[in-house]
Each structure stands twice: as structure tokens, then as C-alpha cells.
């Protein structure tokens, strides 16, 4: 039953993240910076209410007293805001495929960060998979004639975000509240300026409702993901995360008719091959470990 709960929660999480582009496409005629500002403000409001009513504000107070942790959260706040902003910009510019490719690449960036910054050794499988990703990026550069910035900024910012958050090891929602609180004054100033200049997208219409609900859209999948971690191993969740960029790719091609040239398709194919190799190695290792445990129990 726990495994079933975990599967349903994680599936709901990754489906929500996968259809994110549809939500932000619905916000029509509002600039990416303004959407980002609303997302930050309403995420803060919702997080504050959630932590207040669940009586978890004590953890926030403890984090604020630690200068080293606070400095780290300022950095992660900038990183996650950059990630959100680039994603919203890309969706608005009909570049959903770029975001999908970026989130497929994301785990490999995390692997490289572990190797470069933590001295973690890459096994042969990880080296092959990472090499395939590098070839995929090289193909995109050749085909585009430039760096695929969206596909690189998204995984780089999120991998760095995850790396720093792992190092400081703070509660997920308390940390995110402080991150949004740090960026929120700038977001509020921009929204006030937009309102004074008559450029505000906040009104009693579809756009206004969607902007206010952007906080809920941001927090809800985090809640379901956090709940899923209590029922499923992180390794299983790690492989399930590829549901999101897969859905985004299908949305981009079949719903919004973004072109999928051969170079882009080849890039995706190489990354899928790398993921397949890693998945095969991972589950083979688990199977061998399970067999060894069973064998040792029989010998007893």
C-alpha cells in the first residue's frame, strides 16, 4: 500500500511538472518578468501560510540565525529564480523543447558537479552516459550555430541549486520560504512599478486568476513530491523524474507544433540512450545486491 501511495504521488508530481508549459501558455499577453514576480510573491504567501498553520515557523527562525546558511540560501534563491524565469521566458517564446532537453540533461550536470566539486569518481557507465550527453550538446551547437543557452542554463542553475541545498541540508519548505522572501522585495517593487505604469497583468480576469494561482501551481507538486519520498526510494524517484520532460516534449510537438528537426531528435535519442545505460546498470546492480543477500541468508 505504501508503494502504491508513493507511485501515485510521484506520478501526480511529475505529470504536474510535465504540463507546466500549458499553464504558463494560458497566461496570455503578460511578460515573463511579471509572471516570475507573481510566482515568487504568491509562492511566498502560500508557503508562509502553510508553515504558519502547520506550526513549522520555528525551523525558519533557526535558519535565519545562521549567517552561513542564510548566505547559502541567498545564493539558492537567485539560482531558483533564474531557473523559474528562464523557463517562463522559454515557454513564452515557443521554446518548450529547449526546456525539455534541459531537464533531460539536468541529472548529468549533477553527476559532473559531484565529480568536479566533491571528488566523486565516475564509473564506466556514468562516463559513457555523460559522454553521450556532451555529444548531444555538441550536435545542438552545430545545428543551431550557437550555444543552446536555455537547455544549458536550466540544468546548470538547477544542478547548482540542488548541490548547495544538499550541502546545507535545510528543511525543504522552510528553505524555499526564505529563498522566496529574499527575492520577494525585488518582485514586489517590479509589480508596483508595473501597476503605476499601467502594465500590470493583475486584474479580475483569466490572467489575474492564473497569476495568483501560480503560487499554488509551484507549491503543490513540491508537496506531493515530499510526500512521495516517504514511500519510495530516491533512486526510483530519480528515474521517474524523466516523465516530466517527456511530457513537455510531447506537449511542445503535438500541442504547440514546435519543429523537431533531425538534429534535435538525435540529441534526445543520445540522452535517452545514456539514461537507458544508467538505468540498466542501476537495476543490474540492485539485482546483484539482492541475489547476494538472498544467497548469504540461505547459507545461514
The pLDDT profile of the chain, 300 residues, written as one tens digit per residue, is 677 888 899 899 999 999 999 999 999 889 999 999 999 999 999 999 999 999 999 989 989 999 999 999 999 999 999 999 999 999 999 999 999 999 988 878 877 787 777 777 777 887 888 888 889 888 888 887 888 899 999 999 988 998 898 888 888 899 999 999 999 999 999 999 998 888 888 888 899 999 999 999 999 998 898 888 888 776 677 778 888 999 999 999 999 999 988 888 898 898 888 888 877 876 776 666 666 555 555 555
**Count of domains forming the chain:** 1
Within-domain flag for 276: no
Within-domain flag for 9: yes
The structure's pTM equals 0.87
- Do 142 and 263 meet the contact criterion of CB atoms below 8 Å apart? yes
Within-domain flag for 274: no
Residue with cell 539536468: 106
Within-domain flag for 51: yes
Ramachandran angles phi, psi of 257, nearest 5°: 55, 40
Within-domain flag for 103: yes
Within-domain flag for 59: yes
Within-domain flag for 135: no
- Do 264 and 136 meet the contact criterion of CB atoms below 8 Å apart? no
Q: What is the DSSP string of 244-261?
A: HHHHHHHIIIIIS-----
Task: Identify the domain containing residue 87 by its residue range.
Answer: 2-112+149-257
Within-domain flag for 269: no
Amino acid at each position: 500500500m505504501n508503494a502504491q501511495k508513493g507511485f501515485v504521488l510521484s506520478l501526480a508530481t511529475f505529470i504536474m511538472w510535465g504540463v507546466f508549459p500549458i499553464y504558463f501558455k494560458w497566461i496570455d499577453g503578460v511578460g515573463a518578468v511579471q509572471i516570475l514576480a507573481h510566482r515568487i510573491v504568491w509562492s511566498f504567501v502560500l508557503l508562509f501560510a502553510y508553515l504558519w498553520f502547520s506550526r513549522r515557523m520555528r525551523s525558519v527562525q533557526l535558519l535565519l540565525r545562521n549567517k552561513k546558511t542564510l548566505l547559502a540560501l541567498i545564493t539558492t534563491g537567485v539560482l531558483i529564480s533564474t531557473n523559474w524565469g528562464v523557463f517562463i521566458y522559454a515557454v513564452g517564446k515557443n521554446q518548450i523543447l529547449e526546456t525539455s532537453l534541459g531537464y533531460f540533461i539536468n541529472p548529468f550536470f549533477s553527476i559532473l558537479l559531484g565529480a568536479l566539486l566533491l571528488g566523486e569518481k565516475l564509473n564506466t557507465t556514468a562516463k559513457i552516459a555523460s559522454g553521450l550527453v556532451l555529444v548531444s550538446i555538441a550536435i545542438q551547437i552545430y545545428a543551431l550555430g550557437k550555444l543552446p543557452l536555455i537547455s544549458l542554463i536550466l540544468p546548470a542553475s538547477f544542478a547548482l541549486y540542488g548541490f548547495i541545498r544538499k550541502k546545507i541540508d535545510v528543511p525543504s519548505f522552510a528553505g524555499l520560504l526564505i529563498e522566496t522572501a529574499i527575492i520577494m522585495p525585488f518582485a514586489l517593487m517590479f509589480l508596483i512599478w508595473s501597476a503605476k505604469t499601467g502594465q500590470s497583468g493583475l486584474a479580475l480576469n483569466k490572467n489575474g486568476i492564473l497569476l495568483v494561482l501560480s503560487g499554488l501551481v509551484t507549491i503543490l507538486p513540491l508537496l506531493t513530491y515530499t510526500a512521495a519520498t516517504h514511500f519510495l526510494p530516491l533512486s526510483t524517484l530519480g528515474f521517474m523524474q524523466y516523465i516530466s520532460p517527456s511530457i513537455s516534449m510531447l506537449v511542445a510537438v503535438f500541442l504547440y507544433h514546435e519543429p523537431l528537426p533531425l538534429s534535435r531528435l538525435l540529441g534526445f535519442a543520445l540522452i535517452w540512450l545514456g539514461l537507458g545505460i544508467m538505468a540498466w546498470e542501476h537495476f543490474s546492480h540492485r539485482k546483484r545486491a539482492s541475489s547476494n543477500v538472498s544467497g548469504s541468508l540461505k547459507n545461514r
